[in-house]
Amino acid sequence: MRKMIMAFVALIVATSCCTKAEQACTEGCCKAETNQVIETIMERRSIRKYTDQKVERELLDKIAVGGINAPNGMNAQQWEVRIVDNQEWLKNITEAQRKSAEGTPMAKQFEDPNLKNVFRNAPAVIFIAHKPGPCTQVDCGLMAGNMMLAAKSLGLGSICMMGPLGFFSKPEGEPFLKSLNLSEGYKLLLCVGVGYADEEPAARPRNNEVIKYID
């Protein structure tokens, strides 16, 4: 009788341990199908609407450092990063672009009553410049990708842009380009707007048929 009782107790303990182990697995660390990096990649979206909330510089620092840890040709690191979260600067360059666009088809974008700045109203903009070379455009693209994934992982939205940078090559844009204080020989390539998202766009379809194995 005593042996039967002991066996019954052992069975209960074993069942209890198994249940706790299964619960721990469900809660996180040992779920084989969970991969935070892949989830972040699949959940990232290009955000075109942002709240007015200021992005903490601690988070911007993490995004920038994540960017410069991207792979790059020969580890030459021929890139420079400038972060602008000064709302007056963003307002001024938007007004300058507005005046420059008067009388042209580009003026239509400034009719939007919700327009705050030409960088999709992002409260912070990360400018990426490169020293033109055979690899540097790819390097900076990888950098921007890192930044956008870092932003997503920190609860922020982002968008990669090139369009607004055309203004910097105009005489009216020269003061703003100069204020970025880029090193000699470096040219603006692209920028990443960052902020707290005010939208949740659905994923756009991707064509998986472009992926093929060559046996």
Q: Is the pLDDT of residue 31 over 90?
A: no
> Using CA atoms, how far apart are residues 174 and 177, in angstroms rounded to an integer?
5
Task: Name the residue among 157, 192, 154, 196 with its Cα closest to residue 58.
Answer: 154
* Whole-structure pTM value: 0.84
> Using CA atoms, how far apart are residues 34 and 25, in angstroms rounded to an integer?
11
In a domain, 203, yes or no: no
Residues 125 and 28 in one domain: no
Name the average pLDDT for the chain.
89
CB neighbours of 61 closer than 8 A, spacing ≥ 6?
Answer: none
Task: Please give the pLDDT value at position 32.
Answer: 56
Domain that holds residue 19: 2-34
Q: Which parts of the chain are beta strand (E)?
A: 79-84, 124-130, 157-161, 187-195
Residues 93 and 177 in one domain: yes
Task: Please give the pLDDT value at position 12.
Answer: 39
Residues 141 and 124 in one domain: yes
In a domain, 213, yes or no: no
Residues 88 and 18 in one domain: no
Number of structural domains found in the chain? 2
> Using CA atoms, how far apart are residues 74 and 66, in angstroms rounded to an integer?
18
Q: Is the pLDDT of residue 19 over 60?
A: no
Work out the pLDDT band at 1, boundaries 50, 70, 90. very low
Written as six digits, the tokens of 186 are: 């470096």
Task: Please give the pLDDT value at position 3.
Answer: 47
